[in-house]
């Protein structure tokens, strides 16, 4: 029997003979500085088989290792190797047994690689199923496609402009750094990726630097070397795979560059010829599977993004609807949302009583949406009540003013009649009549001023309240009826001690919270935003049960609503856009909040975090807010 291979150098010499056959695979040799061979690595497709000497040097990168050497040293050598990735062949041996050992080891490599690819495809599928960000989907596709195929670089182009344009969206490259995110090109046969998208076919080019190596689809592609020359790179092997959506249309393309041996960058010009290889048929299948998975995931992510955009549009449109009905509070919803989210983040970081309270990204989004929509129920409040700036509505004040003007006119008519009688008969003291007329006009104007002063939403002085009763008691007599300056409803409104709303109107405005809850609970918010109606619908509840609309006890008020209550009151106090009140300085607003907390209405711990973290600094406190 042929036992011609006695030592490890004989094995390496035999490998040199086998490597003359291109079908055998690529053989790389690891040498010492002096040129002595230390190991060999056979590359066949993505498979890497290291052939090493027992107890000798082992290359850092391999899939399976074949250890050759005297039988007495094999056991010790195998003990240093991963058991499932090590094969052994005792020396001396024949060339036939070495060839069989190499083939069996390469079959083992293929099995390992197939198992690894299957695991990676499952991992990719799970990852893509979880991902909702379209860019992250593309990043995952490129990363895993490169890892499985051993590509040095990879990129994804996405179809835009109704199929006319390709945009360079994601790019990875181990060897050079380049940012081509703004790069676009037309969908046409002028480029490899354009031809791939237009035809929907895989294009696998073996070597863009050779005439025959860049031929596919019955044509030779022109290689634009401007990128290579700019970055000192060489685009050799090139695999471009269409991303086909479930409906059949091509929505993009995955392009992999330079399948290579080893994971190290292609650092030197010689590396591009020595370490790169064509992409295999197996690489095509894997990349196509990834591209198909990616297309489905990208479509789902885009659909999710569209739904999110639709939802955002709905929320913003709702806020606009609120603010158009009550322009005096424009910006209030956004400010309350911002303040409450900032307060939630401060609570999340706090120690002490709230140390266990934590808010996830979804929780913060839920709080933000509730803040934006907390006043949506105002669409159910009559607009003239919602925007009522004074105690009397404009038309009511106009009616009172007209009645006072009528008194002036009547007084002038009486004076004119007396002057006429005096002119005809001389029985009336004209000067006395004129003095009485002047006194009557002064009285009417005094009543007008009383009404105007009482109409302001500020605190009603006792003297003005007494004078209002005087005006309400005044009557104007005509031949057919008696006129009142103030109706009972006018008197009730003008006697409001503070603010501009009657009890009935206040109850109507307060009902906006109930309307908010009833409206929001009709919407299928899903698991992540399920508490939006509850949070928004309880932002006027107080810890002592005196809030509205439910008069809920403290234990029933979620901390998100407690935070929103603080934010809502602070913004209402410091807002400069309310026609019925002036902006309160920040320090005074904080004093009012502390007083409310001492009275048992606000959560003291939440307020302490609000003040301690200076959450209110998120607002623009310039101008009227200072």
150-170, pLDDT tens digit by residue?
899 999 999 988 888 998 888
Q: Is the peptide bond before 617 cis (omega within 30 degrees of 0)?
A: no
pLDDT at 537 over 60: yes
Q: What pLDDT is attached to residue 193?
A: 92
- High-pLDDT (> 90) share of the chain, %: 28
- Looking at the chain, how many residues does it have? 626
What gap in Å lies between CA 221 and CA 257, rounded to an integer?
15
Residue corresponding to tokens 């939802």: 311
What gap in Å lies between CA 569 and CA 620, rounded to an integer?
16
pLDDT at 263 over 80: no
Question: Quick one: average pLDDT of 560-583?
Answer: 83
What gap in Å lies between CA 13 and CA 26, rounded to an integer?
15
What gap in Å lies between CA 335 and CA 620, rounded to an integer?
10
Q: How confident is the model at residue 340 (pLDDT cuts 50, 70, 90)?
A: very high
Q: Are 433 and 418 in contact (CB under 8 A)?
A: yes
What gap in Å lies between CA 76 and CA 56, rounded to an integer?
11
Helix (H) / strand (E) element for 483: namely: strand 482-484
pLDDT at 2 over 80: no
pLDDT at 493 over 80: yes
3-state helix, strand, coil in the chain (%, to 5): 55, 15, 30
Residue corresponding to tokens 């698991």: 527
Q: What pLDDT is attached to residue 180?
A: 65
What gap in Å lies between CA 558 and CA 536, rounded to an integer?
11
pLDDT at 570 over 90: yes
Question: Quick one: average pLDDT of 301-310?
Answer: 83
Q: What pLDDT is attached to residue 426?
A: 74
Q: What pLDDT is attached to residue 379?
A: 76
pLDDT at 321 over 90: no
Question: Quick one: average pLDDT of 132-142?
Answer: 81
Q: What is the dihedral of CA 599, 602, 608, 610, to 10 degrees?
A: -140
Q: How confident is the model at residue 622 (pLDDT cuts 50, 70, 90)?
A: low
Q: How confident is the model at residue 611 (pLDDT cuts 50, 70, 90)?
A: very high
Q: Are 403 and 483 in contact (CB under 8 A)?
A: yes
Question: Quick one: average pLDDT of 575-599?
Answer: 83
Question: Quick one: average pLDDT of 141-149?
Answer: 87
Q: What pLDDT is attached to residue 591?
A: 94
CB atoms within 10 A of CB 408: 15
Q: What pLDDT is attached to residue 581?
A: 63
Q: Which of 248-252, 318-322, 339-343, 573-577 has the lowest mean pLDDT?
A: 573-577
What gap in Å lies between CA 44 and CA 51, rounded to an integer?
14
Burial of residue 502 (CB within 10 Å: 0-12, 13-18, 19+) is middle
pLDDT at 605 over 90: yes
Q: What pLDDT is attached to residue 407?
A: 87
Helix (H) / strand (E) element for 196: namely: helix 192-199
Q: How confident is the model at residue 478 (pLDDT cuts 50, 70, 90)?
A: low
What gap in Å lies between CA 66 and CA 5, rounded to an integer?
15
Q: Give φ, ψ of 257 to 5 degrees.
A: -125, 135
Answer with the residue of higher pLDDT: 563 or 55.
Answer: 563
pLDDT at 130 over 80: no
pLDDT at 1 over 50: no
Q: How confident is the model at residue 216 (pLDDT cuts 50, 70, 90)?
A: confident
Q: Are 577 and 331 in contact (CB under 8 A)?
A: yes
Q: What pLDDT is attached to residue 580?
A: 57
Q: What pLDDT is attached to residue 386?
A: 67
Estimate the crossing angle of helix 8-18 against helix 95-130, to 10 degrees.
70
What gap in Å lies between CA 342 and CA 360, rounded to an integer?
13
Q: How confident is the model at residue 457 (pLDDT cuts 50, 70, 90)?
A: confident
Q: How confident is the model at residue 626 (pLDDT cuts 50, 70, 90)?
A: very low
Q: What pLDDT is attached to residue 359?
A: 94
What gap in Å lies between CA 92 and CA 14, rounded to an integer?
13
What gap in Å lies between CA 347 and CA 610, rounded to an integer?
8
List Cβ neighbours of 44 (8 Å cut-off, separation of 6 or more): 24, 25, 26, 106, 109
Burial of residue 191 (CB within 10 Å: 0-12, 13-18, 19+) is buried
pLDDT at 556 over 90: yes
Q: In 318-377, at which residue ranges do the beta strands (DSSP E only) sit? A: none
Of the candidates 408, 339, 217, 275, the one whose C-alpha atom is nearest the C-alpha of residue 615 is 339
List Cβ neighbours of 2 (8 Å cut-off, separation of 6 or more): 94, 95, 96
455-493 core/surface letters (b: 16 or more CB in 10 A; e: else) = bebeebeeebeebbeebbebeeeeeeeeebbbeeebbeb
pLDDT at 565 over 90: yes
Question: Quick one: average pLDDT of 408-428?
Answer: 83
Q: What pLDDT is attached to residue 425?
A: 82
Mean pLDDT over each residue of the chain, to the nearest integer: 85
């Amino acid at each position: 029997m042929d036992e011609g291979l006695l030592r490890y150098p004989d094995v390496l010499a035999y490998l040199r003979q086998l490597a003359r056959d291109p079908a055998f695979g690529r053989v790389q040799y690891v040498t010492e500085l002096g040129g002595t061979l230390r190991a060999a690595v056979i590359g066949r497709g993505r498979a890497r088989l290291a052939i090493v000497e027992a107890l000798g040097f082992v290359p850092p990168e391999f899939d399976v290792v074949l250890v050759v050497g005297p039988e007495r040293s094999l056991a010790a050598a195998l003990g240093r190797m991963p058991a499932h990735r090590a094969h052994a062949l005792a020396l001396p041996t024949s060339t036939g047994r070495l060839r069989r050992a190499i083939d069996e080891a390469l079959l083992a490599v293929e099995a390992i690689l197939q198992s690894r690819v299957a695991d990676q495809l499952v991992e990719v599928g799970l990852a893509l199923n979880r991902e909702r960000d379209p860019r992250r989907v593309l990043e995952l596709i490129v990363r895993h496609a490169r890892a499985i195929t051993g590509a040095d670089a990879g990129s994804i182009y996405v179809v835009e402009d109704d199929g006319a344009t390709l945009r360079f969206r994601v790019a990875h490259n181990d060897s050079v750094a380049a940012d081509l995110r703004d790069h676009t090109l037309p969908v046409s046969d002028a480029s490899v990726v354009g031809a791939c998208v237009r035809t929907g076919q895989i294009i696998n080019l073996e070597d863009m630097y050779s005439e025959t190596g860049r031929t596919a689809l019955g044509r030779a592609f022109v290689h634009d070397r401007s990128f290579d020359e700019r970055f000192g790179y060489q685009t050799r092997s090139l695999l471009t795979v269409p991303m086909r959506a479930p409906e059949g249309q091509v929505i993009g393309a995955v392009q992999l560059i330079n399948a290579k041996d080893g994971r190290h960058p292609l650092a030197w010009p010689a590396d591009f010829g020595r370490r790169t290889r064509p992409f295999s048929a197996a690489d095509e299948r894997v990349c196509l599977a990834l591209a198909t998975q990616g297309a489905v995931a990208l479509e789902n992510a885009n659909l999710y993004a569209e739904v999110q955009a639709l939802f955002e549009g709905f929320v913003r449109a709702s806020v606009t609807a609120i603010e158009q009905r009550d322009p005096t509070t424009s910006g209030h919803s956004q400010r309350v949302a911002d303040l409450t989210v900032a307060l939630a983040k401060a609570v999340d970081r706090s120690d002490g009583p709230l140390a266990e309270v934590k808010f996830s990204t979804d929780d913060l989004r839920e709080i933000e949406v509730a803040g934006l929509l907390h006043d949506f129920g105002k669409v159910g409040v009559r607009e003239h009540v919602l925007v009522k700036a004074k105690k009397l509505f404009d038309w009511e004040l106009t009616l009172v003013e007209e009645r006072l003007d009528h008194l002036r006119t009547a007084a002038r008519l009486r004076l004119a009649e007396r002057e006429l009688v005096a002119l005809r008969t001389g029985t009336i003291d004209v000067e006395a009549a004129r003095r009485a007329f002047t006194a009557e006009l002064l009285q009417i104007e005094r009543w007008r001023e009383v009404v105007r002063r009482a109409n302001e939403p500020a605190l009603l002085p006792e003297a003005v309240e007494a004078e209002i009763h005087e005006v309400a008691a005044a009557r104007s007599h005509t031949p057919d009826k008696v006129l009142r300056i103030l109706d009972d409803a006018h008197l009730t409104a003008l006697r409001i001690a503070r603010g501009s709303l009657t009890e009935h109107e206040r109850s109507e405005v307060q009902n906006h919270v109930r309307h908010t809850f009833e409206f929001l609970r009709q919407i299928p918010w899903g698991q992540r935003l399920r508490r939006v109606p509850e949070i928004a619908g309880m932002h006027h509840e107080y810890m002592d049960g005196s809030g509205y609309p439910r008069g809920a006890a403290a234990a029933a008020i979620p901390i998100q609503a407690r935070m929103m209550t603080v934010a809502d009151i602070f913004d209402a106090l410091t807002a400069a856009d309310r026609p019925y009140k002036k902006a309160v300085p920040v320090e005074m607003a904080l004093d009012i909040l502390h007083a409310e907390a001492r009275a048992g209405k606000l959560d003291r711990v939440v307020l302490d975090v609000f003040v301690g973290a200076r959450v209110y600094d998120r607002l623009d406190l310039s101008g009227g807010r200072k």
